[in-house]
Structure 1
Amino acid sequence: MNKISLSKSSYCNGVQCEKILWLNKYKPEFSAAEINESILENGKKVGELAKRLFGDYEDVPFDKNRFVMKEKTDKLLQEKPNIITEASFIYDNNFCSVDILKNDLDGVEIYEVKSSTKIKDIYIDDIAFQYFILSNLGFNVKKAAIVYINNEYIRGEELEINQLFKIEDVTNIVREKQAEISNNIDFINSFMESHGEDSEPDKELGNYCFDPYSCAFWQYCTRNLPKPNVFDVSGMFTSKKFEKYYEGKISFEDLENEDINKKFLEQIDFELNNREAKIEKNAINDLLDSLKYPLYFIDYETCQYAIPEYEGTKAYQQIPFQYSLHIIKEEGAPLEHKEFLAEFDDENIIRNFAESMIKDMPEDGSVIVYNKGFESGRNRDIGKMYPDLKEEMERINGNMVDFMVPFRNRDYYTKEMKGSYSIKYVLPALYPDEPELDYINLELVHNGGEASNAFLNLKGKEPEEQKRIREALLEYCKLDTYAMVKIWEKFIEVTKG
């Protein structure tokens, strides 16, 4: 058998779904994979920091030629005892780089570093593959362990890496999986040999399309399904979607008489029968009657650091770095706008965010948000970090009104919302002919994920590029709060009469 070259990542892809390997080889142009720079950067930073866990180390630099990395590793292995990072090995056309290798006199220990806060099954497959290669090369692998993030650790003035990282010994589990690893490798090689470029394999859709990772070829593999279909039902559990799919209930026509949640049926009904907008005027009037001037329409943008950057924060804590605020001081008053966008190197980013917000919202008017749980949660975090600001944060939270509620409750629903109450669906549904309200027309930043990535990647950019990105962040966040103003206007319009 002409064996393919398997790495840790390609082996794990094959474990998830062997067709991923075939598509990556023969139809890569259909991949919808997106490069998330902040996730890659987080992973890189975590990996580099973890290398220091056991003291001094020798690193094997990355090289496209795997044999160059192997030869460098072979030389370093002679210097035991030592610590080698990215130690690289090849066995029977299978390749792996071990994140951290403890090279002792009586054997080795292998450590796989993950930027996650918990251990997933696929991580065990990853390190078991490494164990398979090293043990077959004759190494005495004394220990196999996963290094991952402790998100309960609160950073002090200095970062303590031994507190930031958890290390879990998985040696026994890994050893028990060795026969499975061998069988999987044989299966993958046999599969790839029997399916050439003109022999696309049949593979049924399944939960593995999303677990442990969302497959980049989902759109390709579902290209022949009717549109819309069961996978377009908003809010339905993935497992339930597959249950219906396996029953042959795939199109909306197949689903319209099924015994499923009434909100799912409503989305299907509106789509199939092109229903007019559903507007519960009493519910919307109750919301409008609860508002008190001045009206503060506010939206936060946040980012997350795998390695906590600021004293008093945890790994992956939501760090607010920006807000947009539209204000109507009294009935008939003109619309005002205020905003805050932190400098990327601001060490007091959270406090400066909070103090600016308090200054911009001094009165007890209605604080209008879209998804109250998010903004109020950040305010509680601020109150815990800065007890002197807690009373003000509680005041702001006590005045919050959530404009998402009428859409989540389906008091206001149209076909164009496609079952979703995300503002990215709601706004164009309410204002289909106003391009200035369409997030697609924004430059660089179109959603919260892109906003977070843009801010995290400001460091190292040229001043002109930084300016361009900051302007895009301000425009994006401004649209989020202007959108709420427009929703408020629409509420007033549809409840008249």
Structure 2
Amino acid sequence: MHHTKPHRRPGLSKSRITSFEQCPKKLWLSVHRPEFAQYDDGAKMRFVGGNEVGEIACALHPQGVMVDAEPDLTTALATTARLLGEGHPGPIFEATFQHEGVLVRVDVLERSEGDAWRAAEVKSSTGVKDYHRGDLATQVWVLREAGLELESAAIRHVDKTFELTRTGDYAGLFADVDLLDELEDTIAGRAVLVQQARAVLAGEEPELEMGDHCSSPFECEFAAYCGRDLPSGPEWPVTVLPRGGGKKWQKKGIENLLDLSPDNLSGTNAQILAATRDGVPFHDAEGARREMAKWGWPRAWLDFETIAPAVPRWIGARPYQQIPFQFSLHLEQEDGTITHHEFLTCDGSDPRRACAEALVQMVPGDATLIAYYAPFERRVLRDLAGWEPDLAEPLLAMAEATVDLLPVTRNNWYHRDQRGSWSIKAVLPTIAPELDYATLEVKDGGNAQMAWHEAADPGCSILRREALADALKAYCERDTWAMVVISKRLVE
């Protein structure tokens, strides 16, 4: 085994090389101007999920040994060299290697026959993604240059068909895809790629146009920084046309929606142009009345909040399956009476049984359930029926009786401030600006998941958990009340 001495120049890691492949400027900024990075909640949730998945991957090998990075990575390099020198049988977790100043840590290194090893890079996704290939190629290049013989190099991803049958038993949660043969060409090109990355880091900030690479394979945390001096463009760009409807006009050099004429567009896109140009919302009250006339009474306006952990927590659950921990229900009678009902559990216990019982108790058997994007609520109800067979009949009946307010809204209402979106967060301010989500502590589904995770943590204080519960209730109630308000406005 030979380890080169650490270099004085900025170190490169697997993730930094991934950044370089996405965009050289992203790499430069991450090293020289990290203070300009802005991370969203989605990135934080992915980080939480990734850590959980990594811990389980290690726990499946109780005889394995973890290479600590404390006090620094020089220690990790020395520990790895010592373990290999002593002939450790493996597995070794976070085995650390370096070549040409590129440092990698291998999630799981398992001994094979003779002197060969099997390397596995653990991912929380349910399959191999393109950028995983570059990650793995960098690792293999460094490992081989450090003198390690590899029999295989795999992406170890979550198997979405796995179902938890015994608490804490995660055997079978992962599937391996060996990519060693497929990646030989990429591995061969790593030395040149690393030189290019070094050259970028040694120079001035690269000048690069913004484009698709700003969001693929990751939303770049420097996008706001790079876009700060861009001309803001037209107030109503053609990109407000939904489902990518603006792309074909951009290709023709048209950026401003108001440069199009009504003859250029049809259907919804024509309505969007007219509402944007005139400032008068498109509103077909008659159409909305016709669609909603088919809905029976009483009406149960329903919204679930869910968590979808990569690692299933409870028996019968699969990776990323939506588990409802909360719902809000506005129950409306034909005479106009409306009562509010709710369910929430955020103490970390399995919420499914209590949620199913609350639904059966609170939703009248003859009710029409109304959701905003009903496929989601229907799926949650059907999953609950599968988990709670004694309550399956009423739960499946609810799924059958669920109708969707979203297409009714899309067909009969458009205000230019929606900017091409019919999400409830986009529609509500155009109908009832006083019901603003910005004033709430929990503002969207991502916030709700973060709040549940914080409240469910055993270290969360009782006072903090109560505050989070109040914030979750206020948010979920706002969602169902928003549906009631929107439906009233549509038929006026």
How many residue pairs get aligned? The number is 479
1:473 aligns with 2:472: yes
Two-structure CA RMSD over aligned residues (Å): 2.4
TM-score normalised per structure 1: 0.90
Aligned equivalents of 1:259, 1:101: Cα separation in 2: 59
Matched, 1:452 2:453: no
Q: Give CA deviations for 1:413-464 in whole Å, capped at 9, x if unaligned.
A: 11111111100010011112x1xx1000002x10011101211222121111
Shift of 1:190: 1.8
Q: Is the 1:256–1:269 Cα contact (8 Å) retained in structure 2?
A: no
By how many angstroms is 1:491 displaced?
A: 2.6
**Relative to structure 1, is the Cα distance of residues 8 and 86 closer, same or farther in structure 2, using a 3 angstrom cutoff?**
same
Residue 321 (structure 1) aligns with: 325
AA matched with 2:340: H
Q: Return 185-194 or 355-364, whichever deviates more.
A: 185-194
Q: Which residue of 1 aligns with 2:3?
A: none
Q: Alpha-carbon deviation of 1:167?
A: 1.0
1:129 touches 1:181 (CA, 8 Å); kept in 2?
yes
1:312 Cα offset (Å): 1.0
Say if 1:160 and 1:438 are closer, same or farther in 2 by CA, change over 3 A.
Answer: same
| Residues 5-404 of structure 1 mapped to structure 2, 5 A cutoff | 5-35=11-41, 36-63=43-70, 65-80=72-87, 81-103=89-111, 105-194=114-203, 196=204, 200-223=205-228, 224-225=230-231, 226-228=233-235, 230=237, 232-237=239-244, 245=250, 247-253=252-258, 262-264=267-269, 266-271=271-276, 273-333=277-337, 335-347=338-350, 349-404=351-406
Query: Match of 1:483?
Result: 482
Distance apart, 1:472 and its partner CA: 0.6
Residues 2-50 of structure 1, C-alpha deviations (whole Å, 9 max, x = no match): 8542111111011111111123234444433225443322211110111
For 2:468, the aligned partner's letter is I
Checking the alignment, whether the CA contact within 8 Å between 2:109 and 2:119 is kept in structure 1 is yes
**Contact preservation (8 Å) 1:303, 1:453:** no
User: Measured at CA, do residues 401 and 476 of structure 1 come closer, stay the same or move farther in structure 2, by a change above 3 Å?
Assistant: same
Residues of 1 paired with 2:249 and 2:144: CA distance? 44
Q: CA deviation at 1:121?
A: 1.2
Q: CA deviation at 1:160?
A: 3.9
Runs of 5+ in structure 2 lacking a partner?
Answer: 1-6
| TM-score, scaled to structure 2 | 0.90
State how far apart, in whole Å, the 1-side matches of 2:270 and 2:284 are.
18
- Structure-1 separation of matches of 2:90 and 2:263: 63
Gaps in structure 1 of 5+ consecutive residues: none
User: Matches of residues 404-443 of structure 1 in structure 2 within 5 Å?
Assistant: 404-409=406-411, 411-432=412-433, 434=434, 437-443=435-441
Partners of 1:218 and 1:266 in 2: CA distance = 32
Change (3 A) 1:338 1:261: same
| Alpha-carbon shift at residue 201 of structure 1 (Å) | 2.4
DSSP 3-state at the match of 1:172: coil
Q: State how far apart, in whole Å, the 2-side matches of 1:230 and 1:187 are.
A: 37
1:165 Cα deviation (Å)? 0.7
CA distance in 1, matches of 2:238, 2:356: 41
Query: CA 1:18–1:142 in 2, change beyond 3 Å: closer, same or farther?
Result: same
Give the Å deviation of 1:99.
0.5
Q: Distance in 2 between matches of 1:438 and 1:68?
A: 52
**What secondary structure is seen at the aligned counterpart in 2 of 1:162?**
coil
Deviates more, 1:469-478 or 1:254-263: 254-263
Structure 2 vs 1, CA of residues 177 and 464 (structure 1 numbering), >3 Å: closer, same or farther? Answer: same
Partner of 1:358, secondary structure, is: helix
Cα gap change, 1:236/1:438 in structure 2, threshold over 3 Å: closer, same or farther? same
Query: 1:188: Cα distance to partner?
Result: 1.4
Deviations for 1:353-393, whole angstroms, at most 9, x for unmatched residues? 11111100123122121111110111121223333322212
Q: Is the 8 A contact 2:356 2:388 kept in 1?
A: no
Q: How far has the Cα of 1:345 moved from its partner? A: 3.0
Provide the C-alpha distance between the structure 2 equivalents of 1:284 and 1:24, rounded to a whole number of angstroms.
51
Structure 1 SS opposite 2:136: helix
Change (3 A) 1:94 1:398: same
1:264 deviates by 4.2
**What is the alpha-carbon distance in structure 2 between the residues aligned to residue 46 and residue 4 of structure 1?**
30
